[in-house]
Amino acid sequence: MDFNILKDKTAVITGASTGIGKAIALNMAQSGANIAIIFIGDEAPALDVKSQAESFGVKAEIYECDVSAFNISKAVCEKIVSDFGSVDILVNNAGIIKDGLLLRMSESDFDDVISVNLKGVFNMTKHLSRSIMRSQAGRIINISSVSGIMGNPGQANYSASKAGVIGFTKTTAKEFAGKKVTCNAIAPGFVVSDMTANLPQSVRDHANAVIPLKRMGTPKEIAHVAVFLASDMSSYITGEVIKVDGGMSM
């Protein structure tokens, strides 16, 4: 990999203190991008990502933000643009799950997941779009899920939110194409994470059995695709959904 492939770019990554978001932030930093790390809750993991990103010789800052809150996210985005001067890359990765069968799912569990996973993508994209458009080579990367393509029992809220992200991605790609901004989505399958580590062993064994490559993916494997989509190598790709799932949904 060209470790300067994103040199002098500024990337904003939501949900960047852990998991896939952390891997994307660090891989983009290693590729030369300055990094705005969006987190909520515990500051310590975000500071750790900041320190690791800075070890690659780039600028990195942390920002606590509830991406589902329109005015809060607007203020944070304005602060990021002020701190970095411009934004070239936005990775909408922040997401939550509140799983349950539809008949038992509460209204608040449905609303909360939609608010973070889908409205959060709208909020961050809207608030940073003008800066990204000025880049003349802007990149928006939305993290969806194979659950948004296939559906998944117990995830009516999550699947709906991630399917919505795909529709949002395609519309944004069409609206922003005239400004040379591309917008694509990544749809991970099962990925090794704190969330999957807490699943019963029988569930993990079944997941591995139905994945053609017979294993879960890693956050770094998702991050590699994100770096590609953020780089000039993907300049003629927009409105696409790239599945990174070991063949599970083919």
Active site residues: 158
Is beta strand 34-39 parallel, antiparallel or unpaired with respect to 89-92? unpaired
**Residues paired with residue 102 on neighbouring β-strands, in sequence order:** none
In contact, 123 and 165? CB cutoff 8 Å: no
Helices (H) and strands (E) in the chain, counts: 10, 7
In contact, 59 and 67? CB cutoff 8 Å: no
216-239 residues labelled b (16+ CB within 10 A) or e (exposed): bbebebbbbbbbbbbbeebeeebb
